[in-house]
Structure 1
Amino acid sequence: MPIPKLTQSYCHGSTEEPLQFWRSFDRLPKWASETPNKEMIVFRRPDAPRQSITFADFHRVTDGIACRIVQDQPELGAGSLVMVLGTNCLEFCATLAGLHKAGLVIVSAHPSQQSDLIRLADGTDCKALFYMNSGIYKTGAEWLVDKFAVRIDFDSLVQRGKETADKLDDELRKLLRDRQSVISADQTAVIYLTSGTTGKPKMVPHSHHSLVNSIRFRTRGALLNSEDIFFSDRPTSHVVGTFGFLMAILDGLTLVATPANTFAGNRGAENAVWLLDTLAEEQVTSGDFFGYLVHDILQKGGKPPATLRSALLSGAPTTSEQMERAMTVLPCLVNYYGSTETLMISEICPPWGPDNNPTIRQNTVGRAAPHMEVMIADPDRGSWLPLPIGTDGEVLVRGFSVMRGYLDDPELTRAALTDSGWYRTGDIGSMDEFGNITVTNRIKDLIILATEKVAPTSVERVLLGHPEVHAAQVFGVPDERVGEEIAACVILKTAYNKLRSPEETSGMLARWCIDQSIGESRSGVSYVPRYWAVLDHFPTGPTGKVTKTGLREYVASGNVLFDGVEFLPSGR
């Protein structure tokens, strides 16, 4: 059936498949019964032996963990907030599932996020700390342990869970059933910390219902099922990391996980070859691929395994040029759009089937996800009405997966949610007549240069068109005269790293920008970057995402950008 053409920038996702009122752990007994000996989670790392756990064993151990918590910690009733601190490992996954089975609300953080940990410890009503011994001491977060009367490390909790699972009696089973009988799918399951690309931490609650259905539609959109083997290196404390882990529970597929951010930062490239070998050994069929993974695969000239059917690209918005380049080695790449506040916004367009269109996959993030509404509106008008098709505006989203508000922050909530429940993504985008969404920039990333609003992605697109540039990030830096000046950080392709000095490279790229017709705006202001830096990698946060905030801090900390004022055309 043909898709009806839209006349305004508003669309509603399919309602063909109904929402389910499940809790995050409700499907685990099914897979433990039907595929007891199948591997549920495989954990791989470059410097250690392979580890795995089956569906049956995972179900048993997490039942044991939940029973121990319910029996031994009566102060932790259903709905109690508990802080969970750790990095990717089998024990972390088992702890999360056991806590959910016990009806606890997980406040999830990464041990390295020190400022966030202080806010969590002092600003939330967390009644217990569950932590990973090695992770908490390696990152200097051991001060947290003394703040909690109830503090349990993953290793001892999992060991107690195993011992309890071996001798579960009717009394313990009834205790667990009674606890789970009061856990609703509407109950908050997890509270995520997020700063997006803006840097300021916020606390985002999500219910079992929003998590479960977002994951269901994500796997359906990518045509995944229980036969698939899914790769992720996302921190389990991060929303996308949780998705990978819960996909195994909900859909019966196998998760192949690695330590969080094994491939992020400057150590990632050397692990890229190991990653490709691991994907082949595990016969991975799909996975989450952040931009740095694609970057390293391209740099190393590697090829994905023949078993890989889809690669979900998530993180900050990706330009058409980046997608085109990535699809040369990952033809099955799919751009996936969502945020911590919304979980999912658009539906994945898989690289096969009747909707397969490489141009759409390269330039858009697809259409509205099932049961979700998306609208493009003018953020400066005050009234939220859809703009004409093809017009740039702010992307708004409404539906089951949108958060109800930031935890204990009514001011931020009012700024993020309209009175009618639309979440303001802060992204600039447009919609075509078939509902395909193109995300072009962040409102907060717009550079206010004199009288002009400059979209960093418009400059990044030009830089990425240069044959020597592999990656580019553009942002604004304060300037007394024009408000903000344009700064550009670039990573060159390996073959060009040592050919010329950073100053010579800056001049070459400035001239390239001028030649590509971004030298002057309509008002005569030049869009050519004034400040330049040539780097070997971009600073990233705990989730591996490059942040504009991180780049600005990098510059402010003494890594001064080269001032290329001499290369600017007359106009600035």
Structure 2
Amino acid sequence: MSERPETLPELVRAAAERFGDAEAVVDLPLRLTFTELAERVSVAAGAFAAAGVGRGDRVAIWAPNSAEWIIAAFGLLTAGGVLVPVNTRFKAEEAGDIIRRSEAKAVLVEEGFLGLDYAAPAGVPVIDLKSGFLESGRPFERPVRPGDVCDIMFTSGTTGRPKGVMMTHAQTLRLYAEWCALADLREGDRYLIVNPFFHIFGYKAGCVASLIAGAAIIPVPVFDLDLVLELVERERVTMLPGPPTLYHSLLEARGRRDLSSLRCAVTGAADIPVDLIRRVRSELPFRSIMTGYGLTEAGTVTASRPGDTFESIATTVGTPCDGVELRIAEDGEVLVRGYTVMVGYLHDPAATAEAIDPDGWLHTGDLGKLDEAGRLRIVGRKKDMFIVGGFNAYPAEIESFLLEHPAVAQAAVVGVPDERLGQVAKAFVVRAAPVEGDDLIAWSKKRMAGFKVPRSVAFLDELPTNATGKVQKELLR
């Protein structure tokens, strides 16, 4: 084995050699060391091989975060297979579409989770992760190459039918080694992973990063604040990424639980109130806060850096990762080029050609601006932009203004029809303190151009989000 692992199966073995008896996975009552994890992965690889999974064959995992998910995923890769994670919120028909199009040879599930019907298309076997299948093989490893596709992760489908993004072992290892440094993930850290494993954050910035750094993975199957707080206290969690709502909850819970072990926070994508970042840093034990921007088609693209101000962490998503180029097109779209850009969309050369231009630039569909220091600010999605009396209005920009109001905890803005202006802004707000819609509108008029000001405000207890934390604006519309 080379000094630096070049494939994910090599990574598992290297982690066992480097970190040995240190804890690798804590999924109570199960506790596994790095050595034990590598042994279980090798046995699982044998089970996949015995089941007929060959080099390049695809297998879907449609299950929540667990030790078994980790063992299955890396066991499959060690057998030479290709991982196809499936969103646990999908119903059978939605999952079936992905399983069918990925040509998966089998689907691994956790029977009974969320009461879902884990059916697969005809002819595709469904295997329960808890059935003993993963322990049924003999130790096995099939050689794979750094340039081989290791996983096909389907996009969240907010712009139509999900597309299968193909990434390689080499891309994954290089990018998430850098992610560990940027997020300050260290050997011996205790990493509570709330982000779902079917998403690039939970799987790559979670499981893969932990194996690179030598951190213990503590998986959480469904976000439950009381469980998270209990695990933070009992397992002495040091690394806790999550959306802004998670940090609001921690601020409310301090004093009731021992959170003193927490060292690293990671959040991202959406604008965050500057005061929230300041409070997380001053009122909670966190010593580092990272924010970043990424997408399934290119992994983590930008990240904040140590020493960045509260304001830059809250309002920008940092500067590009090493080996990643970034530019803003004439229409404001964020373009990305570099080794992290996907191999392409599975069985969809037309969509691949539409996404990646002849010069290698990935067209992200996000709109952004660069500040004088080269930090990226996301101002919206091309599809979310709406036109008010001839002026382009960007929801993310309006949302960032609203978040400056002390009574606003969360905000989402959509364009709604208007007879005179074509479309106008409507704001959906989760309150942090009492405030009325008329007050927010009057406040907005003093801070933003008239065409950006929301004409109406609706108050919600929470914003509708998908399993990866993105606000589902189609539901708000």
TM superposition score normalised by structure 1? 0.76
For residue 98 of structure 1, report the CA deviation from its aligned partner.
0.8
| Aligned-partner Cα distance in 1 for 2:418–2:341 | 37
The answer for the alignment partner of 2:358 in structure 1 is 419
For residue 430 of structure 1, report the CA deviation from its aligned partner.
2.5
Say if 2:22 and 2:188, in contact at 8 Å, map to a contact too.
no
For residue 451 of structure 1, report the CA deviation from its aligned partner.
0.5
CA offsets 1:95-142 (integer angstroms, 9 cap, x no match):
11111111111111123213531321443322222222123x7123x3
CA 196–321 in structure 1, closer or farther in 2 if over 3 Å, else same: farther
The one-letter code matched in structure 2 to 1:437 is L
| Aligned-partner Cα distance in 2 for 1:345–1:196 | 20
CA 198–509 in structure 1, closer or farther in 2 if over 3 Å, else same: farther
Of 162, 177, 185, the match for 1:201? 162
CA 111–286 in structure 1, closer or farther in 2 if over 3 Å, else same: closer
Alignment of 1:505-524 (within 5 A): 505-514=436-445, 516-518=446-448, 520=450
For residue 57 of structure 1, report the CA deviation from its aligned partner.
1.7
Say if 1:106 and 1:191, in contact at 8 Å, map to a contact too.
yes
For residue 275 of structure 1, report the CA deviation from its aligned partner.
2.6
Partner SS for 1:82: strand
The one-letter code matched in structure 2 to 1:513 is S
Say if 2:274 and 2:310, in contact at 8 Å, map to a contact too.
no
Alignment of 1:222-237 (within 5 A): 222-237=183-198
The answer for the alignment partner of 1:60 in structure 2 is 39
| Aligned-partner Cα distance in 2 for 1:121–1:274 | 32
The answer for the alignment partner of 1:150 in structure 2 is 125
The answer for the alignment partner of 1:38 in structure 2 is 22
The answer for the alignment partner of 1:337 in structure 2 is 293
The answer for the alignment partner of 2:248 in structure 1 is 295
CA 249–519 in structure 1, closer or farther in 2 if over 3 Å, else same: closer
Say if 1:540 and 1:550, in contact at 8 Å, map to a contact too.
no
| Aligned-partner Cα distance in 2 for 1:112–1:435 | 37
Matched, 1:132 2:110: yes
Matched, 1:282 2:235: yes
Say if 2:244 and 2:267, in contact at 8 Å, map to a contact too.
yes
Partner SS for 1:344: strand
Alignment of 1:363-378 (within 5 A): 363-378=315-330
Partner SS for 2:236: coil
The one-letter code matched in structure 1 to 2:181 is R
The answer for the alignment partner of 1:118 in structure 2 is 96
Structure of greater relative contact order (alpha carbons < 8 Å, 6+ residues apart): 1
The one-letter code matched in structure 1 to 2:469 is G
Structure 1 or 2, whichever has the larger Rg, is: 1
The one-letter code matched in structure 1 to 2:380 is N
Q: Which runs of 5+ in 2 are unaligned?
A: none
For residue 301 of structure 1, report the CA deviation from its aligned partner.
5.8
The one-letter code matched in structure 1 to 2:58 is L
The answer for the alignment partner of 1:405 in structure 2 is 344
Partner SS for 2:10: coil
For residue 535 of structure 1, report the CA deviation from its aligned partner.
0.6
Partner SS for 2:328: strand
Of 458, 461, 467, the match for 1:536? 461
The one-letter code matched in structure 1 to 2:443 is W
Say if 2:410 and 2:430, in contact at 8 Å, map to a contact too.
yes
| Aligned-partner Cα distance in 1 for 2:103–2:111 | 22
Matched, 1:93 2:63: no
Matched, 1:23 2:7: yes
For residue 317 of structure 1, report the CA deviation from its aligned partner.
4.9
Greater Cα shift, 316-325 or 108-117: 316-325
Say if 2:44 and 2:136, in contact at 8 Å, map to a contact too.
no
| Aligned-partner Cα distance in 1 for 2:47–2:229 | 40
Identity percentage of aligned residues: 28
The root-mean-square deviation of aligned C-alpha atoms, in Å, is 2.7
| Aligned-partner Cα distance in 1 for 2:164–2:42 | 28
Say if 1:21 and 1:185, in contact at 8 Å, map to a contact too.
no
Of 150, 158, 181, the match for 1:189? 150
| Aligned-partner Cα distance in 2 for 1:205–1:299 | 41
CA 370–201 in structure 1, closer or farther in 2 if over 3 Å, else same: same
The one-letter code matched in structure 2 to 1:128 is A
CA 341–27 in structure 1, closer or farther in 2 if over 3 Å, else same: same
Of 244, 249, 252, the match for 2:211? 249
Say if 2:272 and 2:403, in contact at 8 Å, map to a contact too.
no
| Aligned-partner Cα distance in 2 for 1:438–1:324 | 19
CA 298–477 in structure 1, closer or farther in 2 if over 3 Å, else same: farther
| Aligned-partner Cα distance in 2 for 1:452–1:322 | 31
| Aligned-partner Cα distance in 2 for 1:434–1:466 | 26
Say if 1:232 and 1:258, in contact at 8 Å, map to a contact too.
yes
| Aligned-partner Cα distance in 1 for 2:447–2:124 | 63
CA offsets 1:404-425 (integer angstroms, 9 cap, x no match):
2222223322322111111112
| Aligned-partner Cα distance in 1 for 2:196–2:84 | 14
The one-letter code matched in structure 1 to 2:465 is T
The answer for the alignment partner of 2:221 in structure 1 is 259
Greater Cα shift, 291-300 or 243-252: 291-300
| Aligned-partner Cα distance in 1 for 2:347–2:58 | 14
Say if 2:7 and 2:145, in contact at 8 Å, map to a contact too.
yes
Say if 1:33 and 1:56, in contact at 8 Å, map to a contact too.
yes
| Aligned-partner Cα distance in 2 for 1:315–1:197 | 15
For residue 377 of structure 1, report the CA deviation from its aligned partner.
2.5
Alignment of 1:311-390 (within 5 A): 311-318=265-272, 320=274, 323-324=277-278, 326-327=280-281, 329=283, 332-350=288-306, 355-379=307-331
Say if 2:42 and 2:75, in contact at 8 Å, map to a contact too.
yes
Alignment of 1:560-571 (within 5 A): none
| Aligned-partner Cα distance in 2 for 1:149–1:306 | 47
CA 149–257 in structure 1, closer or farther in 2 if over 3 Å, else same: closer
CA 519–223 in structure 1, closer or farther in 2 if over 3 Å, else same: closer
| Aligned-partner Cα distance in 2 for 1:375–1:483 | 31
The answer for the alignment partner of 2:262 in structure 1 is 308
CA 160–259 in structure 1, closer or farther in 2 if over 3 Å, else same: closer
CA 118–449 in structure 1, closer or farther in 2 if over 3 Å, else same: farther
CA offsets 1:397-449 (integer angstroms, 9 cap, x no match):
11111112222223322322111111112222223444322223222221222
CA offsets 1:358-407 (integer angstroms, 9 cap, x no match):
4433333222111111122213xxxxxxxxxxxxx322111111112222
The answer for the alignment partner of 2:474 in structure 1 is 549
Greater Cα shift, 202-211 or 303-312: 303-312
For residue 198 of structure 1, report the CA deviation from its aligned partner.
4.3
Say if 1:63 and 1:161, in contact at 8 Å, map to a contact too.
no
Alignment of 1:415-494 (within 5 A): 415-479=354-418, 481-493=420-432
Partner SS for 2:437: helix
Say if 1:456 and 1:475, in contact at 8 Å, map to a contact too.
yes
The one-letter code matched in structure 2 to 1:314 is G
| Aligned-partner Cα distance in 2 for 1:304–1:363 | 30
Matched, 1:69 2:48: yes
The one-letter code matched in structure 1 to 2:19 is T
For residue 64 of structure 1, report the CA deviation from its aligned partner.
0.8
